[in-house]
Structure 1
């Protein structure tokens, strides 16, 4: 049930209680057998954007005919599983006047603030803009959160006071009480704690020393990071945390900027997990596709088949991986990333000057350094990480095998129905236990030192937890402001069959950029896009197999657009985790990565999604897109090593080493 904002407004509560009592008395006087009809109303509505009203536990009312009247226009509801729902209610004026009636008798009245549709974009755009301008995502999120709540409360003077008070008391608490959110929080703490132990016992330093013996230059280091990201394909969260923390010291040794490391980590996480057949993303994607297919008649293709066919048109995720490998193998960069690489290579400063601790390690980083005197044994880090990955993969299989929704015994279906969050929890707990036992068994650290190292690692993820919590709270406000409903309503009447995949891709990208949640965008858009895309094809008599590419491309547009928007947004969970695991400032990560993501997104959109919508073969679009990206890197990219004369480079090297 949505939160009742009037609960914390004593005067309004008193007035509403008196009004409810008077209304009940009048209803009882006019109709003795009348039942209580509590209805759930949205906090606000948007002008010209459809909204709905529900009445729970309405079984006792099924013998009646109930109507909701909005500004004089009556609507009849539908009863399903005890809930009476009134849909497609629209108001063109503010406030919206609502009346619930039955058999000519008024049961309840209400007024709801109706805002212009574009108002719903203000909090999200404010958060992104302030984060980039102030370089402080915490302040940006909190101010935007209060602004959004104030809008939900009607933008009154008293509403502002309630918004400030309820920002933490209501929205932050609600964000943390959602089970999936808390699973992410605990998972981050466990991974951070394990990293703390294997860093303090010399394990990560051992890995760094081993890889340093093999890799001879910066390009090889970047490729090693990319391949490690591709190898840990089963989940994007685990990917970011493991790869970032493992390769941080090695990339520092090779004078690779933290911005570059965070970019590689970020773009080999979600894009890989989204398009491979055996990952924790599959179950969710197939589920939301199936939600949309359930509303389509005369469509006999399974949700999993639609998902597999749509992967061919997932241009952005595939091209993002191709671009990372091109950048890593060539050693070339351009734009803000080139400047970051020049700084790191010529001065040895892998952190940007904007970071508060750029003059030296932060206190938590010092706590995570290897204890003086302990041997640097790589297996002390490799074994716990292998246990984490192995237990997670086995748990994914076992929980998928036990799922009642499993369609058959195929590996894809089993993993698609697995409980990914529980599996990651099992793996991270097992990894922590193995790291603890190995460290204690070799007497590298005492029990007290091991627990201190675990807490130091957990403390290092506190910032990302705070930012994630505020981002979740802001996402809830965007839901109450009907941001996605406005965007879909604004573009719904402009969809052309051949341009439909492109429009859906852009809409999904903007929603992900504004909300910072690719999964949230997929959960909201996919159940609507699937029937919408099919309805457009039916309306234009284009349901034959020769036009199914439009349907599949529209489905993939949601996935690809959501990932693209995620990569460009400072509010995205994957962006936050990649920056945190790589030890990079969040805003530095976003600013340096933005141009690369825009280039890949532009190529994927103009060379892939757009022509594919008109029937160009997907493989040709993918090939041309990859070649174009190679040409961009080849002609516009420059190596950081080649940007200064050799003599000057040697001087800078010597100065940096002596410093």
Structure 2
């Protein structure tokens, strides 16, 4: 059966089942006072289950919203059956309309599309390509080729798609020359895309993450929480992302691998075969030619100046909007100003200004015409339209669960059976499974965040304790883990395409590393932190664990060691060290 037909059948069956099952409700009552009990779990369950079955996040979230509207309408309306169906439909539409009418939500959406526009102009001018080319010149050996690729992934922090599109094609010729397997290249590209962008203080991700954080705290009746401050405090607790980045560096620096990746590197070093036998590398003309105009001078300043403008004015805006002028110019005063800042407005100021700076630079250098500059900005903004839709539906399903009392019910059920110290681990595992099955970290965040934050704040008594930050970090980093190694993830597929690697070879060689880091995150991270261990100790233990695993369980991929293992005479001229 074709996927589209299967998805249609699943969708229709779900809608019919929901309409028939909720008809058991009695008419009349106040939707805010009605005790929905276990039925309040239906919207998130529908969203999660359909995401598993259909892999369509927008459809899943939309039907999750519809199921909630259906339940509340049948529970409280005194109309007839068919009129209740109509009312459920109109109520479903009202949720995203109300979400878009919220000032905070509107600010987040504007910032998100503004960042997309700025990134598109920078790419059009060849700025990111210029940075990538400059870094590529530093790579002389297999070790430096891997570590420069890693560094490039860190430098291009503001967007995971731009990161993948630039780093893979730029470093591939050099990696090929140094006999680094395509599997290894795609692993490095993939591991420095979403894990980096998801933690960056300024990126195409942050607007989405801030929107979910702010709305989920509101659902937990905590309205005086500064989402940007919470975001920053969660960064140390995103241990999967941190450990994944650290492992990429150590793998390249130590030149040691294990599992299928070792076999791929051994094949490439000894035989020069960068792809496995029978491999079908993914490729795309878009990745080969990039997004920049042809025959233009590549200048790093065309990327650095707009990005620096964005970062500097974002921090100035946060300081100013948080009452920085009235506070002492000290570390404590600056911290307090950031804590009181209006993040959405501040980031909009910075993103639009950075976009204007990029336009002016492109036009003044005669790289772009005024029309081309605006066209690039609009195309970049349009590229994030799916993001805006998902975010709006995420806010909508959050409102639905608030109406039905999902969070209080979940807290009531779980608090009596789940030890608080296990919450970060449970949330991390659930987020990982959902993301792996759906192939999207953003969709997973939208589903898990409204459930995780009320639980965490219940255990913390409403205070922002390490348990809250660890649980929130578990949603954000668990979503990235599942997305990172899922074969249906867009970033995983893009990494294979950008590196011209066989997609399943990329997945098979990366999964052992991702699973190792995921397990390490639980053993030294979520469980000990839940029991009270400071996060900095978890970080140290994790780095030691990665180093020890590579040292004692990994095998050297240095050319002379591989030749010695195979009984081949070492040729000093080919020695990579």
TM category (shorter chain) comes to: 0.5 to 0.7
Give the alignment partner of residue 502 of structure 1, picking from 419, 422, 431: 422
Larger radius of gyration: 1
Higher relative contact order (CA 8 A, sep 6+): 2
**How far is 1:142 from its partner?**
0.7
Give the alignment partner of residue 390 of structure 1, picking from 299, 305, 312: 312
Kindly report which structure 2 residues correspond to 1:181-192, keeping only aligned pairs within 5 A, or say none.
181-192=105-116
Q: Is 2:528 the partner of 1:605?
A: no
Aligned residue pair count: 502
Q: Is 2:134 the partner of 1:210?
A: yes
Give the alignment partner of residue 555 of structure 1, picking from 455, 468, 488: 468
Q: 1:291 to 1:403 in 2, by over 3 A?
A: farther
Kindly report which structure 2 residues correspond to 1:482-521, keeping only aligned pairs within 5 A, or say none.
483-496=406-419, 500-507=420-427, 510=430, 516=443
Give the alignment partner of residue 121 of structure 2, picking from 191, 197, 202: 197
Contact 1:203–1:376 at 8 Å: present in 2 too?
A: yes
**How far is 1:441 from its partner?**
1.6
Which is strand-richer, 1 or 2? 1
Give the alignment partner of residue 542 of structure 2, picking from 625, 645, 648: 625
Q: Deviation per CA, 1:262-310: give whole Å up to 9, x if none.
A: 4312222445659xxxx99999989999999999xxxxxxx99999999
Give the alignment partner of residue 373 of structure 2, picking from 441, 450, 454: 450
Q: Is 2:189 the partner of 1:261?
A: yes
Give the alignment partner of residue 532 of structure 1, picking from 448, 452, 459: 459
Kindly report which structure 2 residues correspond to 1:330-341, keeping only aligned pairs within 5 A, or say none.
330=254
**How far is 1:429 from its partner?**
1.6
Kindly report which structure 2 residues correspond to 1:113-152, keeping only aligned pairs within 5 A, or say none.
119-130=42-53, 137=55, 139-143=56-60, 145-146=62-63, 149-150=66-67, 152=69
Aligned residues: CA RMSD? 5.9
Q: 1:383 to 1:184 in 2, by over 3 A?
A: same
> In structure 2, how many angstroms separate the alpha carbons of the residues matched to 1:399 and 1:304?
13
Give 1:39's aligned residue. Answer: none
Q: Is 2:300 the partner of 1:375?
A: no
Give the alignment partner of residue 250 of structure 1, picking from 170, 178, 191: 170
Give 1:60's aligned residue. Answer: none
Moved more, 163-172 or 337-346: 337-346
| 5+ residue gaps, structure 2 | 1-17, 75-80, 176-181, 435-441, 564-577
Q: 1:605 to 1:336 in 2, by over 3 A?
A: same
Q: Deviation per CA, 1:378-420: give whole Å up to 9, x if none.
A: 2222222222222222222222334999998532222232222
**How far is 1:632 from its partner?**
3.8
Contact 1:148–1:474 at 8 Å: present in 2 too?
A: yes
Q: Is 2:286 the partner of 1:361?
A: yes
Matched position secondary structure for 1:153: helix
Which is helix-richer, 1 or 2? 2
Kindly report which structure 2 residues correspond to 1:265-284, keeping only aligned pairs within 5 A, or say none.
265-271=193-199
> In structure 2, how many angstroms separate the alpha carbons of the residues matched to 1:307 and 1:111?
34
**How far is 1:555 from its partner?**
3.4
Q: 1:248 to 1:266 in 2, by over 3 A?
A: same
Give 1:438's aligned residue. Answer: 361
| 5+ residue gaps, structure 1 | 1-42, 48-92, 101-107, 132-136, 296-302, 536-547, 646-659
Q: Deviation per CA, 1:533-574: give whole Å up to 9, x if none.
A: 469xxxxxxxxxxxx9xx955334323322233214559xxx
> In structure 2, how many angstroms separate the alpha carbons of the residues matched to 1:144 and 1:287?
16
Contact 1:171–1:476 at 8 Å: present in 2 too?
A: yes
Kindly report which structure 2 residues correspond to 1:199-348, keeping only aligned pairs within 5 A, or say none.
199-216=123-140, 220=144, 223-224=147-148, 226-227=150-151, 238=158, 240=160, 243=163, 247=167, 249-254=169-174, 260-271=188-199, 316=240, 318-327=242-251, 329-330=253-254
**How far is 1:468 from its partner?**
4.3
Contact 2:127–2:301 at 8 Å: present in 1 too?
A: yes
Contact 1:251–1:261 at 8 Å: present in 2 too?
A: no
> In structure 2, how many angstroms separate the alpha carbons of the residues matched to 1:184 and 1:460?
16
Matched position secondary structure for 1:415: helix
Contact 2:240–2:478 at 8 Å: present in 1 too?
A: no
Q: 1:581 to 1:262 in 2, by over 3 A?
A: same
Q: TM-score, normalised by structure 2?
A: 0.64
Give 2:179's aligned residue. Answer: none
